[in-house]
């Protein structure tokens, strides 16, 4: 019988799913029974909860270890299968690299090449175009020109009218150079799923709703091989896409769990701002939270995250699943400040004084130490004072380094610095060191590789006093993570880009 | 309010780890080797290893230009898997599970590199890249305990040091 199992909305979907898996597949005598199962889910996070519910059913009761099923997000499943189908395996490209290939494809064309007169002008269009081609692959669309497109910007008209040719040339280029994209992998797996080396055990397709055409084709194949489908919905009133799925696949519906209509009790609490909301939340929160699935704080936007963390009861374990935007961090404001400083330089390479003062006031710079371990705040304070008294609107780097020597009252400056155990030479040395790490490397950045190196240099310089003793940064609990993300995730993405090396810098003549 | 900050239990990464270039590079190589081994159901020639290494690079989306594929990956793996003690684990038809997850009795997740399931004995194998470290033996001993609990069969534990290459039996 072709059926889909619907877990009613009032039930905990993953908990109920775990019960189904346990009932149908767990065997105390056969430890391999569960791990032969593959559970496909829409996103990675669900795996943690599903595994935990299985643990509650198996491990916690029997007090012994077990091999859980393979729980894998569809995105990872597709990648894994595609790698096995590709011969030889290809290198997946990031969106900027896809845009670069598209730049190479379109710039020679007299019609749409006008938008591709330079890499920097083309880049935003390239990113959009790459996303469009990805969408076409995901939806198994046959590429063709879109003639006379309406309601699109003038620059996009040329691309859309030549879309068929662009897609073919892009596809050919990727193939010739051993590249691929996520969308292409989805298309590949969907088109060759019959020959794909899949796990032999049963498949569960759990929690999917709106399918792309590639997903639909993959799932149809798995379903024909006996995969079970689980939806989370009201069995008596399926949402539109489930109704369509049911009709198209000729499915029968089987409810699992209580069939009663959901009867949630909603309470609204009125508060006039975030602080008042958090105050009330503190009163409403249960004293003891039984598990991570029993209490969730859903925030309207990431700006509320840090105040919320500060307002939580002491000692409460927190699993932050919200992506926090880099542009809200102090780290970002520093990088932005460094970039603005470079952008604001005049024709002689001199810095705009206001941008410079913003940099030396940044908290990350203020907390630095001199090589002998002394706090630098007083040096930066004196430097700002000198810049205001003796500086000019656009000082050169060397002029900034000489500022500390200018004085009408050298004795007063000496005493000022001596209060922190510093002398003028050490103070001047620190300013030179500051410039060597924060100004000089940025002056010649004109490629992604250069940018990656400059960013890495900044992070290392600013963190050097704290290396190995990051716990001392506990006043800023998330700062470590922001820096780690920049260093481990963002910077490595810059360096290996196809257009990253200097000899392939922006511009059509660069190749 | 600020008094509460140190008491918030937020676990973050150690930045020192990512700032040590050699350590990061070594960790990436280790990840790629483990991934390549997870693709190998069996091994009958160097071409199997070459393909597995390519698959690992492809799946991780890593730039191959930064490595010497032959010297850093294929050759060490070939020599390690060619060891007399290792060959039976990678023979065609041998029942095995790779990168298998184990949930222990406290709900903690562990991942065993390779479990070879025979009729009379189960073998637990952990692959190690780089130097020997003190806690390696204890790690495999822990895995052995899990497998014994689950399979109720005699279990043997091994460490395969890829770069040496050599096999250490875990008592």
- In total, chain B counts a number of residues equal to 171
A457 with A342, same domain?
Answer: yes
CATH number at residue A72: 3.40.50.300
Does pTM surpass 0.80? Answer: yes
- Chain B CB contacts of A35 under 8 Å are 97, 100-101
Residue in this structure with the two tokens 């040590």, named with its chain if needed: B20
- Higher-scoring residue by pLDDT: B57, A498: B57
Model ipTM over 0.95: no
Query: Which of A59-63, A412-416, B39-43 is the least confident region?
Result: A59-63
Q: Pick from B81, B102, B118: which residue ends a domain?
A: B81
Q: Does the residue B75 lie in any domain? A: yes
DSSP state of B8: S
Distance to chain B for A390, nearest Cα, Å: 39
Mean pLDDT of chain A: 86
In angstroms, how far is CA A172 from the centroid of its own chain? 29
| pLDDT in the model for residue B4 | 40
pLDDT tier at B5, thresholds 50, 70, 90: very low
B97 with B133, same domain?
Answer: yes
- Burial of A310 per CB tally in 10 Å (0-12, 13-18, 19+): middle
- Across the range A149-160, mean pLDDT stands at 77
Closest CA to A434 of A499, A374, A369, A483: A369
Residue A506, pLDDT above cutoff 80: no
CA dist A158 and A384 (Å) reads 52
CA dist A54 and A479 (Å) reads 35
pLDDT tier at A504, thresholds 50, 70, 90: very low
A135 with A249, same domain?
Answer: no
Q: How many domains does one find in chain B?
A: 2
Contact B58 A317 (CB under 8 A): no
Distance to chain B for A70, nearest Cα, Å: 8
A158 with A200, same domain?
Answer: no
Secondary structure of A392-442 in HEC code, one letter for each residue: CCCCCHHHHHHHHHCCCCHHHHHHHHHCCCCCHHHHHHHHHHHHHHHCHHH
B38 with B68, same domain?
Answer: yes
Contact B105 A63 (CB under 8 A): yes
Query: Which of A310-324, A445-459, A471-485 is the least confident region?
Result: A471-485
Which residue of chain A is at minimal alpha-carbon distance from B39?
A: A84
pLDDT tier at A380, thresholds 50, 70, 90: very high
- Higher-scoring residue by pLDDT: A284, A14: A14
Which residues are paired to B96 by β-bridges? B116
Q: Pick from B45, B66, B81: which residue ends a domain?
A: B81
Distance to chain A for B18, nearest Cα, Å: 6
| pLDDT in the model for residue A150 | 78
- Chain B CB contacts of A278 under 8 Å are none
Query: Which of A117-126, A271-280, A377-386 is the least confident region?
Result: A117-126
Q: Does the residue B63 lie in any domain? A: yes
Query: Which of A55-69, A262-276, A466-480, B50-64 is the least confident region?
Result: A466-480
A105 with A214, same domain?
Answer: no
The domain containing residue A135 runs over which residues?
Answer: 92-177
- Among the ranges A106-115, A250-259, A370-379, B84-93, which has the highest mean pLDDT value? B84-93
CATH number at residue B126: 3.90.320.10
pLDDT tens-digit readout, B134-151? 899 999 999 999 999 999
Q: In terms of C-beta distances under 8 Å and separation of at least 24 residues, what long-range contacts does A324-328 make, across chains too? A: A324/A478, A324/A482, A326/A482, A326/A485, A326/A486, A326/A490, A328/A302, A328/A303
- Among the ranges A128-132, A281-285, B23-27, which has the highest mean pLDDT value? A128-132
Q: Which of B8, B15, B63 sits opposite A480 (nearest CB)?
A: B15
pLDDT tens-digit readout, B91-138? 999 999 999 999 999 889 999 999 999 999 999 999 999 889 989 999
Q: Write the Ramachandran bin of B107: left for phi over 0, alpha for psi from -120 to 50, otherwise beta.
A: left
Residue in this structure with the two tokens 């690079």, named with its chain if needed: B57
- Higher-scoring residue by pLDDT: A425, B17: A425
B20 with B66, same domain?
Answer: yes
Token pair for A76:
């990872």
Contact B18 A90 (CB under 8 A): no
pLDDT tier at A474, thresholds 50, 70, 90: low
Query: Which of A42-56, A115-129, A344-358, B86-100 is the least confident region?
Result: A115-129
> Before A88, cis peptide (omega within 30)?
yes
Q: Does the residue A419 lie in any domain? A: yes
Q: What are phi and psi of A474, to 5 degrees?
A: -65, -15
B94 with B120, same domain?
Answer: yes
| pLDDT in the model for residue A510 | 28
**Contact yes or no for A175/A86 (Cβ under 8 A):** no
Query: Which of A112-126, A413-427, B64-78 is the least confident region?
Result: A112-126
Q: Pick from B63, B81, B99: which residue ends a domain?
A: B81
CA dist B18 and B16 (Å) reads 6
pLDDT tens-digit readout, A166-190? 899 999 999 999 999 999 999 999 9
The domain containing residue B69 runs over which residues?
Answer: 14-81
pLDDT tens-digit readout, A186-222? 999 999 999 999 998 899 999 999 999 999 999 999 9
Residues whose CB is less than 8 angstroms from the CB of residue A209 and which lie 6 or more positions away in sequence, other chains included: A42, A231, A239, A241, A242
Q: Does the residue B1 lie in any domain? A: no
CA dist A338 and A455 (Å) reads 10
Residue B89, pLDDT above cutoff 80: yes
Q: Which of residues 144-163 of B touch A (CB under 8 A)?
A: 146, 149-151
State the distance between the two ends of chain A, measured CA to CA, in whole angstroms. 59
**Substitution target from A67, A188, A471 for chain B, most B beta carbons within 10 A:** A67
B76 with B92, same domain?
Answer: no
């Amino acid at each position: 019988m072709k059926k889909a199992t619907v877990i009613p909305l009032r039930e905990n979907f993953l908990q109920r799913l775990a019960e189904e898996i346990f009932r149908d597949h767990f065997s105390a005598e056969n430890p391999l029974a569960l791990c032969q199962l593959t559970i496909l889910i829409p996103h990675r996070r669900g795996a943690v909860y599903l595994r935990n519910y299985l643990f509650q059913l198996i491990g916690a009761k029997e007090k012994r270890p077990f091999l859980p099923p393979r729980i894998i997000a569809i995105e990872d499943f597709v990648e894994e299968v595609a790698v096995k189908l590709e011969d030889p395996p290809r290198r997946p490209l990031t969106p900027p690299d896809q845009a670069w290939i598209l730049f190479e494809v379109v710039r020679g064309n007299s019609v749409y090449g006008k938008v591709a007169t330079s890499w920097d002008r083309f880049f935003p269009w390239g990113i959009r175009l790459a996303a469009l081609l990805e969408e076409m692959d995901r939806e198994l669309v046959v590429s063709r020109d879109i003639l006379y497109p309406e309601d699109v910007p003038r620059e996009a008209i040329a691309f859309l009218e030549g879309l068929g040719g662009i897609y073919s040339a892009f596809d050919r280029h990727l193939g010739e150079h051993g590249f691929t994209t996520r969308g292409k992998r989805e298309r590949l797996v969907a088109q060759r799923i019959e020959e794909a080396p899949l796990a032999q055990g049963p498949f569960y397709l759990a929690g999917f709703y709106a399918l792309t055409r590639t997903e639909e084709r993959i799932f149809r194949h798995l379903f024909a091989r006996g995969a079970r489908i689980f939806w989370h919905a009201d069995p008596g009133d399926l949402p539109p896409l489930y109704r369509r799925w049911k009709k198209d696949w000729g499915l029968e519906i089987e409810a699992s769990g209580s069939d009663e209509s959901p009867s949630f009790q909603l309470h609204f609490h009125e508060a006039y701002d975030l602080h008042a909301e958090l105050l009330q939340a503190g009163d409403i929160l249960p004293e003891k939270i039984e598990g991570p699935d029993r209490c969730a704080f859903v925030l309207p936007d990431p700006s509320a995250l840090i105040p919320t963390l500060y307002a939580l009861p002491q000692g409460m374990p927190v699993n932050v699943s919200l992506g926090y935007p880099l542009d809200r961090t102090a780290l970002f404001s520093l990088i932005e400040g460094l970039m603005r400083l470079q952008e604001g330089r005049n024709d002689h390479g001199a810095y705009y004084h206001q941008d410079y003062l913003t940099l030396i006031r940044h908290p990350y710079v203020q907390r630095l130490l001199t090589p002998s371990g002394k706090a630098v705040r007083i040096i930066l304070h004196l430097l700002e004072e000198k810049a205001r008294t003796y500086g000019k609107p656009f000082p050169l780097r060397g002029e900034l380094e000489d500022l500390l020597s200018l004085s009408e009252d050298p004795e007063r400056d000496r005493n000022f610095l001596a209060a922190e155990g510093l002398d003028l030479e050490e103070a001047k040395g620190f300013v030179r060191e500051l410039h060597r790490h924060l100004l000089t490397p940025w002056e010649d950045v004109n490629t992604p590789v250069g940018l990656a190196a400059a960013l890495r240099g900044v992070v290392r310089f600013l963190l050097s006093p704290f290396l190995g003793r990051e716990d001392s940064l506990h006043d800023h609990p998330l700062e470590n993570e922001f820096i780690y993300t920049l260093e481990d995730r963002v910077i490595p993405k810059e360096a290996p880009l196809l257009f990253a090396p200097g000899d392939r810098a922006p511009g059509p003549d660069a190749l | 309010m600020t008094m509460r900050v140190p008491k918030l239990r937020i676990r973050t990464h150690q930045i020192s780890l990512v700032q040590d270039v050699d350590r990061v590079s070594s960790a990436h190589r280790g990840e790629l080797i483990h991934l390549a081994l997870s693709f190998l159901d069996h091994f009958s020639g160097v071409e199997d290893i070459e393909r597995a290494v390519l698959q690992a690079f492809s799946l991780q989306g890593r730039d191959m230009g930064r490595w010497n594929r032959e010297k850093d990956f294929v050759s060490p793996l070939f020599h390690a898997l060619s060891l007399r003690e290792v060959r039976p684990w990678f023979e065609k038809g041998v029942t095995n599970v790779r990168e298998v997850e184990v949930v222990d009795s406290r709900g903690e997740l562990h991942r065993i590199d390779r479990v070879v399931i025979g009729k009379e004995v189960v073998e637990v194998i952990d692959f190690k890249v780089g130097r020997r470290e003190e806690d390696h033996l204890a790690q495999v001993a822990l895995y052995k305990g899990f497998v014994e609990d689950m399979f109720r069969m005699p279990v043997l534990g091994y460490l395969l040091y890829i770069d040496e290459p050599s096999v250490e039996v875990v008592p």
